[in-house]
Amino acid sequence: MPGTACKAVPVASLGDWIMEFELRDEEKAFDEEVEQFLRDHQSPEVMDAHPEQLSQTVDTPAKRAFMRRLAERGWLGMSWPSEYGGRELSGIYDFVLTEALSRYGAPQPGKGVGIVGKTLIRHGSDEMKRRFLPQILRGEIEFAIGYSEPDAGSDAAAMRLRAERKGDGWVLNGAKLWTTSAHFADWYWVGARTDPDAKHKGITVFLIPMDHPGLSIRPIWTIGDERTNEVFFENVEVGPDAVVGHVNQGWTYICEALDLERFAMMPIGGLEKKVEALCAHVHAAEVSGRRLRDDPVARRRIARVVTELEVSRMLQKRVISAALKDRIPTVESSQYKLYMNECGQRVADAALDLMGPDGILRPGDEGALLDGKFERSYRYTVVDTIGGGASEIQKNIIATRGLGLPKNF
């Protein structure tokens, strides 16, 4: 496989794949370089106190400056074609960077590099490529993604935000829901219905500045203490240059972007930090004068979460394997996101069981174990199962595209 020592070997008796995956020497050197950079630039103004939550919903000048430092080192868009400013490196370098950032709770390149940028490279006009790709590579721009709506949550194809023709441009009216970065993003990557008589083939993607007249934002706070938003469109007029790719072909672009989001926006570093913290707690804790690590029930719970973490790693590597072959990892991404997110819930559940009553104390409460990180994790992991497509949607993708089952089975 190009760029990494990764190979898949069929096992006929299992009907599945066993994967051997190991970084090459130059990739390991890059991993060490990134780790050193993050150690040298550790700062509470940039890195979240609870990196296992991966909450990237707060924007500050320090975080934007940090992203520009990544850009100065040539670490944004490393796998992009050279004609668009990339270095044409293997996608494994993007993976190494994202995972290291996630372990430190640092800002992620995410939407700009992995969703907007890669989709523009595939489908954007020459003008859009000239306008946005250099800004993405310089770490100068933030995007919000708008698919979900009040009456069309996980079923993005049912979106009803209207985009109607006006001359050679469009007028948009309606609302979007759960747009996480709307309160600080510079541009809105948004899907709208341009053909009311079609479902999947009646959607177009637009790029609209967040300060555009007619756009308004209302905050929504989630159970995980994370801000998301509702965005309202009232006679938002845009020109033809706001259209991404071709009119009425937006559903294809959205599906590709969602696959990229499930990969690029779902690193496993946060889950690893959760499991490490839980193992350390069980190793050191005592209950009624007895070491918790000697309790057979506690040992079984720890063995299970460590095993499930390893399964999550293997599913992630299947996504990477597909992506490195320049294939959109639709089914693999859904398998990974579904399992990894629900594994995160099970880890948080196990932690609260093993910690007892003190485990339910919140961050900042007196006596909260591990500063209440698992109480917050217990709430936050509900949000994880919704972003990028709810778990039910992932199951449908696996069933229909992976197993070939009918849609109405």
Q: Tell me which residues are annotated as active site.
A: 261
Q: In whole angstroms, what is the distance from residue 274 CA to residue 373 CA? A: 9
Q: How far is CA 119 from the centre of its chain?
A: 15
Strand partners, 357: none
Contact 372, 361 (CB under 8 A): yes
Contact 219, 229 (CB under 8 A): yes
Amino acid 150 reads P
Q: In whole angstroms, what is the distance from residue 43 CA to residue 86 CA? A: 28
Closest alpha carbon to 178 in 111, 230, 233, 254: 230
Q: In whole angstroms, what is the distance from residue 223 CA to residue 185 CA? A: 22
- Name the pairing type of β-strands 16-22 and 162-166: unpaired
Maximum distance among all Cα pairs of the chain, rounded to whole angstroms: 78
